[in-house]
Amino acid sequence: LSPPQVIIGDHDGQMAVLDYLNGAEMKSFQYTESEDRAHRNEVTRLCYCAKYKTVISCSWDRSIMVHDDNDSERDILLLQMTGGHSSDITALAYSHNLSLIASASSDATLQIWDYEFGRLEGTCDGHPAGISALAFLDPYACLLAADANGNLCLWAMRPAIGKYVGEWHVRVMST
């Protein structure tokens, strides 16, 4: 059995697996194409896929990477997805049921990617502000997105990726 682990990413683009109990580094993700780092810029979000033992990361370098976590010593890059965003990636979500990755950026774009092949499946347009949070509503084929203006948008996924379902505006009131 492996010890309990925590996976971290930092502002320099570094990623590491740490022993949860004592903080010792167990493994780092370093690739020559990223200047011996996981990303060329700050790591903004991480998702762990337990079934496949992979780590999905995104960064301000506008890339999404899928890292193999099966090997306890070697760092293996399985997929790198670029070209979907023209601004910093600010949110990330993964759906095991749909085999999809969702990424969103500060320019209000939301991209849907195929997990297995890394290809862009679709774009969801409609947010008026930068997107700050994403969540797949497994087992349903829906994605919930929140933007900086307080809007919540519900998006239909497979088979009709990017179909706009509805929008709610959240207003926080103090007493």
Per residue in 77-113, pLDDT (tens digit) is 899 988 888 888 999 999 998 999 999 999 898 999 9
- pLDDT tier for residue 1 given thresholds of 50, 70 and 90: very low
Please state the three-class secondary structure of 46-103 as a single string. Answer: EEEECCCCEEEEEECCCCEEEEECCCCCCCEEEEEECCCCCCCEEEEEEECCCCEEEE
Q: What is the mean pLDDT of residues 135-156?
A: 90
91 φ/ψ angles, rounded to the nearest 5 degrees: -150, 150
Q: What is the mean pLDDT of residues 38-46?
A: 91
- In the numeric block, the tokens 């349903």 are attached to 140
pLDDT greater than 80 at residue 12: yes
Output the six-digit token pair for 173.
């009131």
Residue-wise over 85-111: b if at least 16 C-beta within 10 A, else e? beebbbbbbbbeebebbbbbbbebbbb
Is residue 113 within 8 Å of residue 84, measured between CB atoms?
A: yes
* CA gap 16, 25 in Å, rounded: 7
Looking at every residue in the chain, the average pLDDT score rounds to: 85
- In the numeric block, the tokens 């903080």 are attached to 23
Q: One-letter amino acid identity for 81?
A: M
pLDDT in tens, 116-133: 999 999 888 888 899 999
| pTM as predicted | 0.84
Output the six-digit token pair for 32.
């020559």
Describe the chain by its helix, strand, coil percentages, rounded to 5.
Answer: 0, 50, 45
